A and B are shown apart, each in its own frame.
Chain A
Amino acid sequence: MKRKVYLDYAAATPIDPRVRKEMSPYFERYYGNASSIHSFGREVSNVIRNARTDIAAILNADVSEIIFTGSGSESDTLAIMGIARKYKHLGKHIIMSSIEHKAVLQAGHALEREGFQVSYIGVAKNGIVNPKNIREALRKDTILVSVMYANNEIGTIQPIKDISQIVRHARNNGVIPIFHTDACQAPGALPLDVKKLGVDALSLNGSKMYGPKGIGILYLREGIDIEAIIPGGEQERGRRAGTESVALIIGIDRAFRYAEKDRIKESKRLSILRDYFIREIKRKIPGVMLNGHATKRLPNNINLIFEGIEGESLVLMLDQEGIAASTGSACNSFDLKPSHVLTELNIPEDMAHGSLRMTLGRLTTKTDINYVLKKLPGIISRLRELSTITYGKK
Chain B
Amino acid sequence: MEKNNTKVKKSNDVVCGDGGFWVYSGVVKEHFFKPKNFLKEDEDFAADGIGSCGSYACGDVMMFLIKVNKKTKKISDCRWRTFGCASAIASTSMLSVMVTENGGMEIRKARLIKPQQIVDRLGGLPDRKFHCSVLGHMALRDAVDDFEKKHAS
Do chains A and B interact in one complex?
yes
| A interface list, Cβ under 8 A from B | 308-310, 312-313, 316-317, 319-320, 329-332, 334, 336, 338, 349-350, 353, 385-391, 394
Given pairs A313-B85, A319-B14, 14 additional interface contacts (CB within 8 A): A310-B59, A312-B85, A313-B84, A316-B86, A330-B58, A330-B59, A350-B56, A353-B56, A386-B35, A386-B89, A387-B81, A389-B61, A389-B83, A391-B81
Please give the distance in Å from A232's CB to the nearest CB on chain B: 27
Can you show 16 pairs from A to B with CB atoms below 8 A apart?
A: A312-B85, A312-B86, A316-B32, A319-B14, A330-B58, A330-B59, A331-B84, A350-B57, A353-B56, A353-B59, A385-B38, A386-B35, A388-B63, A388-B82, A389-B61, A391-B63
**B83 is contacted by which of A309, A316, A332, A394 (Cβ under 8 Å)?**
A309
Please give the distance in Å from A340's CB to the nearest CB on chain B: 15
Q: Produce 1/0 per residue, B42-75, CB < 8 A to A.
A: 0000000000100011111111000000000000
Q: Which of B103-150 contact A (CB under 8 A)?
A: 128-129, 132-133
Complex contact B61–A386 (CB within 8 A): no
Complex contact B85–A388 (CB within 8 A): no
Interface residue? B97 (CB, 8 A): no
User: What residues on B are CB-neighbors of A353 within 8 Å?
Assistant: 56, 59
User: What residues on B are CB-neighbors of A319 within 8 Å?
Assistant: 14
CA distance A319 to B84 in the complex (A): 17
Q: Among A313, A329, A330, which residue has the most Cβ atoms of chain B within 10 A?
A: A313
User: What residues on A are CB-neighbors of B41 within 8 Å?
Assistant: 385, 390, 394
CA distance A336 to B127 in the complex (A): 12
CA distance A287 to B73 in the complex (A): 41
Name the 9 nearest CB pairs between A and B, nearest first.
A350-B56, A331-B85, A349-B57, A312-B85, A388-B81, A387-B83, A353-B59, A388-B61, A388-B63
User: What residues on B are CB-neighbors of A320 within 8 Å?
Assistant: 33
Closest A residue to B24 using CB positions: A316
Please give the distance in Å from A77's CB to the nearest CB on chain B: 20
| B interface list, Cβ under 8 A from A | 14, 32-33, 35, 38-41, 52, 56-63, 81-86, 88-89, 128-129, 132-133
User: What residues on B are CB-neighbors of A317 within 8 Å?
Assistant: 33
User: What residues on A are CB-neighbors of B89 within 8 Å?
Assistant: 313, 386
User: What residues on A are CB-neighbors of B82 within 8 Å?
Assistant: 386-388
User: What residues on B are CB-neighbors of A331 within 8 Å?
Assistant: 59-60, 84-85, 88, 129, 132-133
CA distance A316 to B35 in the complex (A): 14
CA distance A312 to B57 in the complex (A): 15
Q: Among B38, B59, B62, which residue has the most Cβ atoms of chain A within 10 A?
A: B59
CA distance A387 to B85 in the complex (A): 11
Q: Among A316, A329, A334, A388, which residue has the most Cβ atoms of chain B within 10 A?
A: A388
Please give the distance in Å from A147's CB to the nearest CB on chain B: 30
User: What residues on B are CB-neighbors of A332 within 8 Å?
Assistant: 85
User: What residues on A are CB-neighbors of B56 within 8 Å?
Assistant: 349-350, 353, 389
Please give the distance in Å from B128's CB to the nearest CB on chain A: 6
Please give the distance in Å from B81's CB to the nearest CB on chain A: 4
Closest A residue to B14 using CB positions: A316
Please give the distance in Å from B153's CB to the nearest CB on chain A: 29
User: What residues on B are CB-neighbors of A310 within 8 Å?
Assistant: 59-60, 83-85, 88
CA distance A347 to B38 in the complex (A): 29
CA distance A309 to B35 in the complex (A): 15
Closest B residue to A335 using CB positions: B128
User: What residues on B are CB-neighbors of A385 within 8 Å?
Assistant: 38, 40-41
User: What residues on A are CB-neighbors of B128 within 8 Å?
Assistant: 334, 336
Please give the distance in Å from A319's CB to the nearest CB on chain B: 8
Supposing A320-B33, A388-B61, A389-B56 touch, asked if A313 and B81 sit within 8 A by C-beta, the answer is no
Supposing A336-B128, A350-B57 touch, asked if A391 and B39 sit within 8 A by C-beta, the answer is yes
User: What residues on B are CB-neighbors of A387 within 8 Å?
Assistant: 81-83
Please give the distance in Å from A357's CB to the nearest CB on chain B: 16
CA distance A336 to B57 in the complex (A): 12
Please give the distance in Å from B15's CB to the nearest CB on chain A: 11
Please give the distance in Å from A89's CB to the nearest CB on chain B: 41
Q: Among A308, A316, A329, A390, which residue has the most Cβ atoms of chain B within 10 A?
A: A316
Closest A residue to B133 using CB positions: A331
CA distance A313 to B32 in the complex (A): 8
Closest B residue to A319 using CB positions: B14
Please give the distance in Å from B16's CB to the nearest CB on chain A: 8
Closest B residue to A389 using CB positions: B83
Supposing A330-B59, A336-B128, A391-B63 touch, asked if A313 and B38 sit within 8 A by C-beta, the answer is no
